[in-house]
Structure formats: structure tokens, C-alpha cells
Structure 1
Amino acid sequence: MIDMHAHFFPPLSPTQSRVLDAERGPWLDPGDGESGFIMTGTERFRPVRRALWDPARRLEELDAAGIERQIICATPLLFGYGQPPERAAEWARLVNDLAVEHCADAPERLQPLAQVPLQDTDAACREVSRAKANGMLGVQIGNHVGERNLDDEALVAFLAHCADAGMPVLVHPWDMLGRERMPRYMLPWLVAMPAETQLSILSLILSGAFERLPRSLRICFAHGGGSFAFLLGRVDNAWRQRDIVRRDCPQPPSSYVDRFHVDSCVFDTRALRLLIEVMGEERVLFGTDYPFPLGESEPGQLIRDTPGIDEGTRRRILRDNALRFFGLAGTDG
């Protein structure tokens, strides 16, 4: 199995965190060594466990789960899009170098995605090029920068650069909408996060951005594409009925599903079957959201348990699709 959606958080010190933000920079309090906290300045942001920052522990858990390879990316809190570009660029270099270090002892098992200062297109493109030269496999971005969605011309230009550079892109939701109405029960993660992902996909479709971007762009959306697959019929109906929906989108929205991929992190066999039906088995990639509590607790079990899909489909989702998407050489594992 190849897990293409997993996170890490480097053992950043309070001093290092000030590269990004002197008051509320993110850093790691390792606690007792087994469990600790992600910190923002002096405040605890989230409890975390050792596998998030310790590659040796990560590899032990991958062995136990039967995962041959894992693609890791930064925890989205590290993006830094709200900071001045020069700070964010220095910060991205630091985080990316630590990501490479995290993978260094097992480069065939652990492979990193880069982060970039996405608020500055030129700086972001430079960091993509630097990351590729340093052996990073692709790039992870947030699904928006402030009020700018992925159809913003500067962000479309960045995606075009990734296509030209041959760097795959993982889009991860973050900084979720409507937080003031969702103060309890982790509702931003349960309601707004899937909506954010659907928003980013529809922004690219309905704006006509996919018409302008090269087909060589390899782009994948986390968490099964959020609410996109379930609501695609509603979107197609709106496109047929309202000219304001189809103004910039010359084809039905459903015709663009061959332009992107999604991961399999949906936690329900019925949802996974729908996702495969909508996207096609070749565009669903195994991802766990490891090692967070909202991730897949038994990696691969959902795919193995889903009825109505054959062993060839399971193998493609669990492994082969990631090899193709990231341009990796396979093994017999």
C-alpha cells in the first residue's frame, strides 16, 4: 500500500517559530516524548502523538499497518499564508528542509511534499523549483489564500507552473469558513472542511480554469474531494438551468472529473463506492490523514471491505494509482 495523504510536524523550537510569527508562531512541545502539543505562541493548539514528529516511530507503525511507502506533507497550520511573503518564503524553506530531513533515513519509504509561500506567486514558483531540486516529490497547498479561491489568476498561474515543472499538487482544506457559527463539536472539520474542498474544485471548474490549465497538471484533492461527489448532480442541474452558472464553463461540470484526482479518505463503504463511480477507479488514491485522530484508524481496511469492487480496482486504489500520479517506480511489495 502507498499512503499518499499523511502529515508530519517537525520538532520546531519556539525560537524557530519566530521565523514566521514573533507572537504566535507554531512549534512543537514534545511533552513526555510519547504525546505532546502543537503550540501557537504560548497556547496549546492540538494534542499530538510521537509518530507526527518521529520518523522512527512512523516507520514502526507503517510496518505494522503493511504500508510500503508514505507521502508526507506538513500540517496545514504551518502554511503561513497570512504572513508577509518574505517571512513565509523563509519559513517554507525551513519546513521543507525539515521534511527532507524527516525522510532522509528511509527515502524509499518516506517521501515529502513541499509547502510554498502561496501568497506570492513568484516566490511560490521559486520554492517549487528548489524543492524539486532537493528531491521533494510534489507540493501541498491550501485550498485558498485569504479571500482568493483557486480560480484566482495568480493561483492558476502557480498551478500552471507546477504542471510545467512536473510537480504533482495535493490540495488540502484549511482556514475553514463559517467558524463563528461552529463553535462546538469540531463542526468546522465536519461541515466546513468538506465544503471548502468542494468550493476549490468548483472554482476551477466553473471559472473555466481547467480549460486554461494544461492537461499535464496532476492535482489531487484531500478527503475524497469533500462534498463534491455527492453534490455533483446538483451542480450539473444548475449548469443546465442557469446561464450564470455556465457563463465561464463551456462543458457540464461532470465532464471535468478526468482533470483531477481525490484521495480515499471517506470512512464509509457507501461513500467510497459513490466516489469510485463518480471519479473512476483510476482517479482515487489511497490516503489516510495519518497520524491524526480523524484519519483512517485501520489503514486500507475501508478499501478491502467495500463490496462490489474487484481485486484489480483495490490494487489500483491502494497502490498503482499513486505510483502513476507521482511518477514513482514500483516494487513487488
Structure 2
Amino acid sequence: MGSIDVHTHFVPRAWPDLNERVGPGAWPSLRVDSEHEAMIMVGSSEFRRIEASCWDAEVRLAEMDADGVDLQVVSPTPVFFSYEQPGDQAVKVARIFNDLALEVCAPAPDRLIPFAQVPLQDPDAACAEADRAIASGHRGVEIGNHVGDRDLDDEGTVMFLQHCADRGIPVFVHPWDMPGSPRLDRWMARWLTGMPAETHLSIIAMILGGVFDRVPPSLRITFAHGGGSFAFWLGRFENAWHRRRDLIGVSELPPSGYLDRFSVDSVVFDPAALHLLVDTLGASQVMLGSDYPYPLGERPVGSVVERSDRLDETQRTAILRGNAERFLAL
């Protein structure tokens, strides 16, 4: 059997004018430049050039076959989240893109697994949209790692995560909205340094903010991009928890006590980094991911797992497929 890729994204080739359907704003739109290329626009600014693999199931399936991928989790591109907008508008945006996600995945429902977005700034609406999306055919949700200055230990987000645990909805956490500055706006530095830092910070928030102490272990939650820089700096985190208990010892357990409560994907590009994830979290907590179809993703999908000379076959099989089967309750 082929592998399961838990980290891919989609962009529909067309969607309604959000200014008309939702209200005036600097909404994302798509400038279609040819049959095979388009540009995501945010307001009047160019955001990201994309290709037909974002919306064309036939192209996607051919590239999955080339890489030996059996199933893909297909999640929103984070620029669609609209967390900075009023909740009632974000609900409308979520419904539009969630319905379009089903259309993108419809040609291959046995291979393309849609994940929904939710208006996380409005927890009640987020729970309602998660339920609507699951009833419509989605299999999980993707959320951003923060809403403005509110991290994953925000009361509303904790309520949403409890709802997902109760409903058995898997959650995929993706970094987004990285802060910019003159130092970070060069060389894609927000993606090269900001994304790992954002994810690391949010795992810390889950631990020190008491989320894992309050949300049941049944919550299935996975962090993108190998959990950012968390695995590399766990020792520093652990040391601080023990040596500065007055400031950091706010969780019931030290950081190492929560390593079985979340998973990460394998988008780390280097076998040495993958080995660190496995040594730190355990092979049972790492799943194949690629960030397909974006240029900073991994192709061929799974190459970092295949190039590893330290994984045994049991570990390799778990990372390529078995752990995702558990995460997705297949």
C-alpha cells in the first residue's frame, strides 16, 4: 500500500467575489493567468504564484502516483483563514472555501481527504462550522496557530479543541501570519525562521497554558513542519521548567510529559532532522507530510523518510502510513 500525506493544500480555480458575497475588504482572489498558472491576490497585492496542481485533481493524482502516495489530506491555504475579520464574515468565507474543497476532492473521494477551515476568532461559530463541514464530507479541520495575539491556550480556542476531542475531529495546526520587519522581509526569512518559531511557540502555549491538562487525551492534534524548532530546543525548555519553576512550572507535568499528546509531520527535509524528531517524540508521533504543491514542500514526497538509514521497517511504515491511519481514524 502507498503512503499517506497529511500535509497538502488546495486552491480552487475560481471562487465568488468575496466583496459581493461577504462584504468589502482586502479579500483573497485569484488572477488566472493561463490554463495552468494563476496568482493569489490579497486585495491588489500579489501573494503567491500557483499552478494547476492546486486545483486540478487529475494533476494531483498523477503526481501522487509518481511519488507512491495513496492518500492526501487536502487542507486550506492559510491565507483563506480570515481570522483578522469579524466573525460573521469569517464564517461566510469558511463556508465558501469548505464547499469548494469538497469540489476539488470530489473526483477522487477515496484518495483525497478534505480538511475544513473554521472561523477560530468566534469559537461558537468555529464549532458549528466544524460540525457542518464534517457532516458535508470533511474529515478534519486545519487551524492557524494563533488568532492575533491569542495563542492556542486562549479560552475560546481551548473550547474549540475540547469540541474536536468530543466529536473525534482530527486537528492539523499550521503556522501563519508571521510577523514582518526589515530583517525578516528579506530572503523569505519569515518562512525560513518565522514559521518554525511560530509552531514552537504554540506547542509551548499548549503545554504551559495548560491545554493538555484540560483537554482529554482523545484529542488528535498534529503540528506542521516537524513541530517547528520544538524538538531541537526541548532540552532547553525542560531545563527551564525545572530550574525556573517560579515562572515556567505552571503545567502539571514537565514538557517531556506531554510528548505523546501531539504529533508532527515529517516536512524537515533532512534525515538528521527526522532522526531528531523520532529520537525526541518517538516514531509513533511523526507522520509523512510534504506541503504539496508549494515550492518549499518536499518532492518526491517521502524522500526524507526513504533516505534515512536509521529507521527500521516498523518505524518507516508507521511514519509513511500507520500513524496517519490512526490520526484519521481510517
TM-score of the aligned structures, taking structure 1 as reference length? 0.96
RMSD: 1.3
Partner of 2:104: 102
8 Å CA contact 1:19, 1:87 repeated in 2 = no
Q: Which amino acid aligns with 1:101?
A: E
Q: C-alpha offsets along residues 77-122 of structure 1, whole Å, 9 cap, x if unaligned?
A: 0000011111100110110000011111110110100000000000
Question: Which range moves more in the overlay, 173-182 or 95-104?
Answer: 173-182
8 Å CA contact 1:206, 1:245 repeated in 2 = no
Match of 1:33, SS state, is coil
**How far does residue 55 in structure 1 lie from its aligned partner after superposition?**
1.5
**How far does residue 39 in structure 1 lie from its aligned partner after superposition?**
1.1
Shift in alpha-carbon separation, 1:247–1:58, aligned structure 2, 3 A: same
Q: C-alpha offsets along residues 226-261 of structure 1, whole Å, 9 cap, x if unaligned?
A: 000000000000001002343421211011011000
Question: Which range moves more in the overlay, 227-236 or 248-257?
Answer: 248-257
- CA distance in structure 1 between the partners assigned to 2:196 and 2:305 by the alignment: 20
Query: Sequence identity of aligned pairs in percent?
Result: 52
Residue 70 (1) aligns with residue 53 (2): no
1:123-202 equivalence runs, <5 A: 123-202=125-204
8 Å CA contact 1:7, 1:73 repeated in 2 = yes
Shift in alpha-carbon separation, 1:21–1:287, aligned structure 2, 3 A: farther
- CA distance in structure 1 between the partners assigned to 2:325 and 2:19 by the alignment: 34
Question: Which range moves more in the overlay, 121-130 or 169-178?
Answer: 169-178
- CA distance in structure 1 between the partners assigned to 2:325 and 2:247 by the alignment: 36
Partner of 1:254: 256
Residue 310 (1) aligns with residue 312 (2): yes
**Which runs of 5 or more residues in structure 1 are unaligned?**
329-333
- CA distance in structure 2 between the partners assigned to 1:152 and 1:23 by the alignment: 26
Shift in alpha-carbon separation, 1:13–1:138, aligned structure 2, 3 A: closer
Number of matched pairs: 328
8 Å CA contact 2:242, 2:249 repeated in 1 = no
- CA distance in structure 2 between the partners assigned to 1:311 and 1:21 by the alignment: 53
Partner of 1:238: 240
**How far does residue 18 in structure 1 lie from its aligned partner after superposition?**
4.7
Q: C-alpha offsets along residues 178-232 of structure 1, whole Å, 9 cap, x if unaligned?
A: 4453121000001111000001000010122211110100000000000000000
Partner of 2:57: 55
Shift in alpha-carbon separation, 1:19–1:228, aligned structure 2, 3 A: farther
Match of 2:316, SS state, is helix
Question: Which range moves more in the overlay, 10-19 or 203-212?
Answer: 10-19
TM-score of the aligned structures, taking structure 2 as reference length? 0.96
- CA distance in structure 2 between the partners assigned to 1:279 and 1:232 by the alignment: 10
**How far does residue 12 in structure 1 lie from its aligned partner after superposition?**
3.2
Residue 283 (1) aligns with residue 253 (2): no
- CA distance in structure 1 between the partners assigned to 2:135 and 2:16 by the alignment: 29
Match of 1:300 among 302, 308, 327: 302
Q: Which amino acid aligns with 1:115?
A: Q
- CA distance in structure 1 between the partners assigned to 2:293 and 2:67 by the alignment: 12
**How far does residue 278 in structure 1 lie from its aligned partner after superposition?**
0.6
8 Å CA contact 1:8, 1:52 repeated in 2 = yes
**How far does residue 17 in structure 1 lie from its aligned partner after superposition?**
5.7
Shift in alpha-carbon separation, 1:21–1:301, aligned structure 2, 3 A: farther
Partner of 2:324: 322
Shift in alpha-carbon separation, 1:261–1:18, aligned structure 2, 3 A: farther
Shift in alpha-carbon separation, 1:102–1:318, aligned structure 2, 3 A: same
- CA distance in structure 2 between the partners assigned to 1:20 and 1:194 by the alignment: 32
8 Å CA contact 2:9, 2:54 repeated in 1 = yes
8 Å CA contact 2:8, 2:74 repeated in 1 = yes
Partner of 2:8: 6
**How far does residue 46 in structure 1 lie from its aligned partner after superposition?**
0.9
**How far does residue 15 in structure 1 lie from its aligned partner after superposition?**
1.6
Stretches of 4+ aligned residues off by more than 3 angstroms = 16-21, 178-181, 244-247
- CA distance in structure 1 between the partners assigned to 2:205 and 2:14 by the alignment: 34
8 Å CA contact 1:14, 1:41 repeated in 2 = no
